[in-house]
């Protein structure tokens, strides 16, 4: 493996899934779309494509991963999650490409290049976006509530944090609006993607965790493994039996026991894993602090030791027989 | 040149530009962000990063382009414009990478992975999105007004159209909302990008055309050439003298003289080019039908003969001395 290069036999993108809606009885307006441009009639009535998902793919020249990796980002984020770190180091996308995995990196429905709908016919609720303090305090970068300050020097950071905190403000440029009631549309597009790709491994961060489990429940022959990085939740326990042949690796960072909300999320998800195990499921827990890897935030794919964690995932994939 | 492979010494992404806003005195709500998730307090008040721009970059192993190409997409679109075609062929991004150009492909402010702001503190107007009929009739795919029909078989297509019309509905998945009053923010982010990259060549489609001319006016030592693909407009004639050392190639597709709106847009832009020439500017016009290349829509980077047009651009770049 030449770590200095990425050799691809193909790369490209596509949009998948979604549906058509009809918008009716809205007023026509006249709008100018570019400075000093020609005014155009803007008639919003008509047919729209909505709830599609954007996917960018990279196929290495020397394939060593037996099946593709699907990278699914977390809430308020896009596929940019995996491309880089806020301080400009390599992200997990490059790491896995260099090791010979075909990688499909997507923007969940309504985020990023997937686009979003203005019309209530598609999205019934209002988009929301969180201010900077929320990411700082909720993603285990700052030391909990009240730790954020607009003035960088006054921010209280969790001790020995691996997140590149001096680039926190740069990180916040990645944040995009989200909708609270679009889970079904998001799930439907992820289903379409897995149906298109066939046998695959899902790497799911945070909000994407429950989507990965639910897609695997529905398509257990296609989803051959799940790497759930601090999943926001598990799947549905009534379908646990369907996942018994899908090995799962879950990864947790540091500071969780100090944080009531994360303790609750992990506890609930661990109960789900317990249910999977009782049905014969294979769940491996990678608790980073237990291995002596300390200081990881919720955004471990951007943390200073992000490639150390990628390496642990790579080793697990090898051990589970997905690599040649 | 090995046309079957893309060999990169680096790839990644970053967000550039934008500013902070303060949102105040909005009510706090409680929201559930994932199905069966833990409710969280959603306090929208605070600091937000807005008006940043997403840029994905690819640096080939064997650099042959002397300076990077910056790909700027048109209105209602994102950088996906250049990645692929609706029928899954290779886009211009791959074409230029395979020829050894460093390429920076961006999503304009407020589109795609650049994110967008919900708050009037940043965006003063409402987003707009066009229905399918608009792209069909306005991008010179269908035969003008009334040519779109929801039923594919009833659509009236411009004769010999090079757009992969049977994939028109797939194309519409790429469409994203836009804002009419965000030109200054968009321009500011493009300026930051050119300042970061240094000497470069801009490939600008449609709406991005006037942005390219305006950035070049402001940074004539950095923008070494502009390829304006059916630009929506020119720059400001009072600064024509500043562009006299920036060679410009402009490319026009077919059917323009049959279409009142496109005739007007081209006429206005040609008057701008005339002004540039009168100040010593170098403007080359690539009128595809005049060369016997017929049937090109406004989306020529997705048309069936998209690589033929890329080749013509490549030849111009070579002739102008930007390639070794």
Q: Do A23 and B131 touch (CB under 8 A)?
A: yes
Neighbours of B160 (CB within 10 A): 10
Q: Do B261 and A94 touch (CB under 8 A)?
A: no
Model confidence at A2, pLDDT cuts 50, 70, 90, reads: low
Contact A108, A114 (CB under 8 A): yes
Model confidence at B42, pLDDT cuts 50, 70, 90, reads: confident
Asked if residue B1 has pLDDT above 60, the reply is no
- Residue-level pLDDT at A34: 64
- Residue-level pLDDT at B31: 82
Contact B213, B241 (CB under 8 A): no
Model confidence at B40, pLDDT cuts 50, 70, 90, reads: confident
Q: Do B176 and A116 touch (CB under 8 A)?
A: yes
Q: What is the average per-residue pLDDT within A251-271?
A: 96
Which pairing describes strands B223-229 and B248-252: parallel, antiparallel, or unpaired? Answer: parallel
Model confidence at B35, pLDDT cuts 50, 70, 90, reads: low
Q: Do B233 and A37 touch (CB under 8 A)?
A: yes
Kindly state whether B18 is in contact with chain A, defined as any CB-CB distance less than 8 angstroms.
yes
Asked if residue A119 has pLDDT above 90, the reply is no
How would you write A187-238 as a 3-class SS string? Answer: HHHHHHHHHHHCCEEEEEECCHHHHHHHHHHHCCCCEEEEEEECCCCCCCHH
Q: Do A44 and B91 touch (CB under 8 A)?
A: no
Nearest to B210 among A31, A35, A127 (CB): A35
Contact A227, A264 (CB under 8 A): no
State the Cα angle at A75 between A69 and A78, rounded to 5°: 55
Estimate to the nearest angstrom the gap between the alpha carbon of A161 and the chain centroid: 21
Q: Give B133-147 pLDDT, tens digit per residue.
A: 999 999 999 999 999
Kindly state whether A106 is in contact with chain B, defined as any CB-CB distance less than 8 angstroms.
no
Asked if residue A84 has pLDDT above 70, the reply is yes
Asked if residue B187 has pLDDT above 70, the reply is yes
In sign, the C-alpha dihedral spanning A96, A98, A99, A100 is positive
Q: Over pLDDT 70: what percentage of chain A?
A: 98
CATH superfamily assigned to domain A8-14+49-123+174-319:
Alpha/Beta hydrolase fold, catalytic domain (3.40.50.1820)
In sign, the C-alpha dihedral spanning A58, A60, A63, A64 is negative
Q: Do A180 and B32 touch (CB under 8 A)?
A: yes
Torsion on CA atoms A269, A273, A279, A283, rounded to nearest 10: 150
Asked if residue A181 has pLDDT above 90, the reply is no
Asked if residue B207 has pLDDT above 90, the reply is yes
> What is the rounded CA–CA span in Å between residue B230 and residue A73?
36
Contact B6, A7 (CB under 8 A): yes
Please indicate whether residue B180 or residue B54 has the higher confidence score (pLDDT).
Answer: B54
The residue length of chain B stands at 324
Q: What is the average per-residue pLDDT within B277-301?
A: 97
For testing the chain A interface, which of B9, B13, B24, B120 should be mutated: the one with the most A CBs within 10 Å? B13
Q: Do A177 and B116 touch (CB under 8 A)?
A: yes
3-class DSSP state for residue A165?
helix
Contact B175, B76 (CB under 8 A): yes
Estimate to the nearest angstrom the gap between the alpha carbon of A230 and the chain centroid: 11
Q: Do A113 and B127 touch (CB under 8 A)?
A: no
Kindly state whether B42 is in contact with chain A, defined as any CB-CB distance less than 8 angstroms.
yes
Burial class (CB in 10 A: 0-12, 13-18, 19+), B5: middle
Q: What is the average per-residue pLDDT within B154-165?
A: 97
Chain A residues with CB under 8 Å of B36 CB are: 210, 233
- Residue-level pLDDT at A42: 84
Kindly state whether A175 is in contact with chain B, defined as any CB-CB distance less than 8 angstroms.
yes
> Domain-by-domain residue ranges, chain A?
8-14+49-123+174-319
Q: What is the average per-residue pLDDT within B12-33?
A: 92
Q: Do A84 and B14 touch (CB under 8 A)?
A: yes
3-class DSSP state for residue A148?
coil
Where are the strands (E) in chain A, listed by range? 6-16, 19-23, 29-32, 39-42, 46-50, 53-60, 69-72, 103-107, 200-205, 223-229, 248-252, 283-287
State the Cα angle at A100 between A96 and A102, rounded to 5°: 75
Nearest to B4 among A9, A14, A127 (CB): A9
- Token couple for A56: 């960018």
- Please state, rounded to an integer, the average pLDDT across all residues of chain A: 95
> What is the rounded CA–CA span in Å between residue A265 and residue A233?
7
Kindly state whether B81 is in contact with chain A, defined as any CB-CB distance less than 8 angstroms.
no
CB burial string B282-303: b at 16+ within 10 A, e below: ebeebebeeeebbbbbbbbbbb
Q: Which residue of A has its CA nearest to B176?
A: A115
3-class DSSP state for residue A308?
helix
Give the number of beta-carbon pairs within 8 Å between A and B.
220
A50: alpha, beta or left, given left = phi > 0 and alpha = psi -120 to 50? beta
> What is the rounded CA–CA span in Å between residue B147 and residue B133?
8
Burial class (CB in 10 A: 0-12, 13-18, 19+), B20: middle
Model confidence at A35, pLDDT cuts 50, 70, 90, reads: low
Q: Give A222-257 pLDDT, tens digit per residue.
A: 999 999 999 999 999 999 999 999 999 999 999 999
B313-321: long-range contacts, CB 8 A cutoff, minimum separation 24: B313/B203, B313/B227, B313/B249, B313/B251, B314/B95, B314/B96, B314/B99, B316/B227, B316/B249, B316/B284, B316/B286, B317/B65, B317/B201, B317/B225, B317/B227, B320/B225, B320/B247, B321/B66
Asked if residue B113 has pLDDT above 60, the reply is yes
- Residue-level pLDDT at A65: 98
- Residue-level pLDDT at A123: 72
> What is the rounded CA–CA span in Å between residue A83 and residue B150?
38
State the Cα angle at B225 between B219 and B228, rounded to 5°: 105
Q: Give B77-98 pLDDT, tens digit per residue.
A: 999 999 999 999 999 999 999 9
> What is the rounded CA–CA span in Å between residue B284 and residue B4?
31
Chain A residues with CB under 8 Å of B9 CB are: 4-6
Asked if residue B121 has pLDDT above 90, the reply is no
Rounded to 10 deg, the angle between the B208-218 and B183-197 helix axes is 60
- Cross-strand bridge partners of residue B49: B20
Residue A168, phi then psi, degrees to nearest 5: -55, -45
- Token couple for B282: 């170098």
> What is the rounded CA–CA span in Å between residue A53 and residue A49?
11
- Token couple for B286: 């690539």
Q: Do A5 and B7 touch (CB under 8 A)?
A: yes
A114 Cβ contact partners less than 8 Å away, ≥ 6 residues apart: A15, A52, A53, A54, A106, A107, A108, A189
Model confidence at A76, pLDDT cuts 50, 70, 90, reads: very high
Please indicate whether residue A128 or residue B219 has the higher confidence score (pLDDT).
Answer: B219
- Residue-level pLDDT at A321: 98
- Residue-level pLDDT at B181: 83
B152 Cβ contact partners less than 8 Å away, ≥ 6 residues apart: B166, B168, B169
Closest alpha carbon to A86 in B52, B182, B110 = B52
Q: What is the average per-residue pLDDT within B199-203?
A: 98
Kindly state whether B14 is in contact with chain A, defined as any CB-CB distance less than 8 angstroms.
yes
CATH superfamily assigned to domain B63-102+118-124+174-319:
Alpha/Beta hydrolase fold, catalytic domain (3.40.50.1820)
Asked if residue B299 has pLDDT above 90, the reply is yes
Q: DSSP characters for B64-129?
A: -BSS-EEEE--TT--GGGGTB-TTS-B-HHHHHHHTT--EEEEE-TTSGGG----STTT--S--B-
Model confidence at B2, pLDDT cuts 50, 70, 90, reads: low
Q: Do A183 and B150 touch (CB under 8 A)?
A: no
């Amino acid at each position: 493996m030449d770590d200095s290069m990425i050799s691809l036999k193909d790369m490209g993108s596509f949009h998948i899934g979604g549906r058509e809606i009809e918008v009716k009885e809205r007023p026509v307006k006249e709008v100018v779309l570019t400075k000093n441009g020609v005014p155009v009639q803007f008639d919003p009535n008509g047919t729209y494509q909505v709830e599609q998902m954007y996917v960018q793919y990279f196929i290495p020249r020397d394939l060593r991963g037996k099946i593709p990796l699907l990278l699914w980002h977390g809430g308020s984020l896009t596929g940019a999650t995996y491309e880089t770190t806020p301080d400009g180091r390599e992200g997990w996308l490059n790491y896995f490409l260099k090791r010979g995995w075909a990688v499909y990196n997507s923007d969940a429905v309504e985020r990023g290049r997937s686009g979003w709908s203005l019309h209530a016919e598609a999205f019934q609720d209002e988009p929301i976006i969180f201010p900077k303090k929320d990411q700082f305090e909720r993603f285990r970068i700052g030391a909990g509530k009240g730790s954020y300050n607009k003035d960088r020097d006054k921010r209280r950071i969790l001790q020995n944090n691996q997140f590149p905190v001096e680039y926190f403000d740069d990180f916040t440029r990645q944040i995009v609006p989200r909708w609270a009631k679009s889970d079904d549309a998001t799930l439907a597009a992820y289903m379409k993607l897995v149906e298109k790709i066939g046998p695959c491994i899902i790497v799911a961060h945070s909000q994407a965790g429950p989507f990965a489990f639910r897609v695997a429940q529905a398509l257990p022959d296609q989803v051959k493994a799940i790497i759930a990085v601090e999943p926001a939740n598990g799947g549905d326990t009534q379908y646990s039996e369907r996942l018994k042949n899908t090995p799962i690796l879950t990864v947790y960072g540091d500071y969780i026991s100090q944080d009531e909300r994360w303790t609750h999320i992990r506890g609930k998800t661990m109960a789900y894993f317990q249910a999977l195990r009782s049905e014969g499921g294979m769940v491996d827990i990678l608790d980073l602090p237990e291995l002596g890897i300390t200081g990881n935030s919720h955004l471990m794919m951007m943390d200073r030791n992000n490639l150390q964690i990628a390496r642990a995932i790579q080793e697990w994939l090898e051990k589970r027989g997905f690599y040649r």
